[in-house]
Amino acid sequence: MQIQLNKDSHIQIDDDITRRLEEELESALNRFADRITRVEIHLSDENADKFGTTDKRCLLEARIAGQQPIAVTHNAGSVKEAFDGAVHRLRSLLDSKLGRSTDHKGGPSIRHMEVDE
């Protein structure tokens, strides 16, 4: 799974924070890593230099092999809160979208079980 981080000129984060965000995202989406080809992180400050309580925005776009890309957003007062909220939303969406293909009512589907001969 490839991770690409994009940010506008009003977001100031260093390489160490970038690395930690990427590691957190990899850890959160680890169970889907074989199905996701790329995740793009877009961080922005919607009010720029003006004060706002929920002006930081994180958009996560996941590219899933063989399917259309999916995207989620979350706005918050800090970059970290916006990122955490977006990761939670993306994980929930992937769980719903990809979890259904192999699980049925919380357990494995019989359609994907191996047949003993």
What digits encode the pLDDT tens for the residues 84-114?
A: 999 999 999 999 888 755 555 555 555 555 6
Q: Treating both helix axes as pointing N-terminal to C-terminal, what angle do 79-102 and 15-28 enclose, rounded to 10 degrees?
A: 20
pLDDT at 85: 96
- 48-53 contacts at long range (C-beta below 8 A, 24 or more positions apart): 48/10, 49/10, 53/77
In a domain, 51, yes or no: yes
In a domain, 100, yes or no: yes
What digits encode the pLDDT tens for the residues 19-51?
A: 999 999 999 999 999 999 999 999 998 877 666
Provide the domain limits for residue 32: 2-104
In a domain, 29, yes or no: yes
Q: Tell me the Cα Rg of the chain.
A: 17
**Structural domain count, the chain:** 1
- Give CA–CA dist 54/85, Å, rounded: 12
In a domain, 42, yes or no: yes
Cα–Cα separations (whole angstroms), residue 30 to 35, 72, 82: 10, 18, 20
In a domain, 115, yes or no: no
Tokens (6 digits) for 109: 């589907």
Domain CATH number, residue 92: 3.30.160.100
